[in-house]
Amino acid sequence: MEKELVNTILEKEFNELSSNERIALNDYCSSEEEFEHLKMVFLSVESLKKSETIQPSIETKNSLDDIFAQKHGHKQRAIWYNSALVVLYPKEKAFVKRPLVQIAAIGLLFLLAYPIINSSKIQDQTENQLAEVKVEKQKEKPSRVTTSNPVSTDSNVETGIEPIIYTRSEHADPIYEDVMVATAEMSVEEYIPEPEVVFAAEPAMAERPDGIYNESTTITFSQPASAQPQVFDLLTSTF
């Protein structure tokens, strides 16, 4: 009997058979009863195949291995990496239980966790450095001119483009008092701007690493451009 016919018997009911299939099966079964008996035979064969899980014993294999070794003169030399692989990667174990896989997984975890562990160290180092910088700056402060008047002394005027930074003490007037606001009552002539003091906050990083402005700390500002002729020339120059 062909495989297709066996499959037809296993998969279909008698009343589902086509005329061609009935003709092909006619020798084996002509009635529904006979068809069912035939189906039982092949169902039994299928379940028999599934239930037969017997394996030859280990002794049989060992004995055959000895015969093979005798026939070919020597036992095959074990290769070191094969024995290592047998230990590290035993195929009979589940994939996740193989030592090589477990070692690899631990290595991967460590690799992924290392930057996270290391980042806290880097952060500590950065904080230490910032603290050192802060201490150094505090030491440097007395050398600078501390004044409420933004007029520089000759010794503090630098010839470079960089603005000279002055430090203003806490007791100085608040910044907003220096800003003159024009009102509607004032005429154009009345509004004569005083020598303007332009303040620029020193980068907050110098005081606090997170850049948050803190009122209690000293306020720093740069020298006005008018006080630096070379900068003023640079700004007003035409090309």
Partner 1 sequence: MKIFRAQHNTFTDEELMQAISKGDKRAFDELYNRYAAALLRYFMRMLWKDREKSEDFVHDLFAKIVNKPEYFDPTRSFKTWVYSVANNMCKNEYKKAEVRKGMSNGLDNHYALSDTSVNVMNEVQDSFFQEAFVKNLAELDDKHKEAFSLRHIEGLSIKEIAEVLEINEGTVKSRLFYATKYLAESLKEFNPIENR
Which residue, 86 or 135, has its beta carbon nearer to partner 1?
A: 86
Q: How far is the CB of 107 from partner 1 (least distance, A)?
A: 20
Eight-state DSSP code of residue 147: -
The β-bridge relationship of strands 219-222 and 165-168 is: antiparallel
**For binding to partner 1 (CB under 8 A), which residues are involved?**
1, 6, 27-29, 32-34, 36-42, 44-45, 47-49, 51-52, 54-57, 60-61, 63-65, 67-68, 71-72, 76, 79, 81-82, 85
Residue (25 or 172) nearer to partner 1, CB: 25
Buried b / exposed e along 25-64 (16+ C-beta atoms within 10 A): beeebeeeeebeebbeeeeeeeeeeeeeeeeeeeeeeeee
CB of 49 to partner 1, least distance (A): 6
Closer residue to partner 1 (CB): 36 or 178:
36
Q: What are phi and psi of 188, to 5 degrees?
A: -60, -40
Task: Give me the least distance between CB of 135 and partner 1, in Å please.
Answer: 59
List of E strands, 98-210: 165-168
Question: What's the closest the beta carbon of residue 205 comes to partner 1, in angstroms?
Answer: 55
Phi, psi of 17 (to 5 degrees): -70, 140
Q: Taking a C-beta distance cutoff of 8 angstroms, is the pair 42, 12 a contact?
A: no
Residue 31 CA: distances (Å) to CA of 27, 36, 89, 113: 11, 9, 57, 72
Closest approach of partner 1 to the CB of residue 16, in Å: 16
**3 or 171: CB nearest partner 1:** 3
Residue among 1 and 180 whose Cβ is closer to partner 1: 1
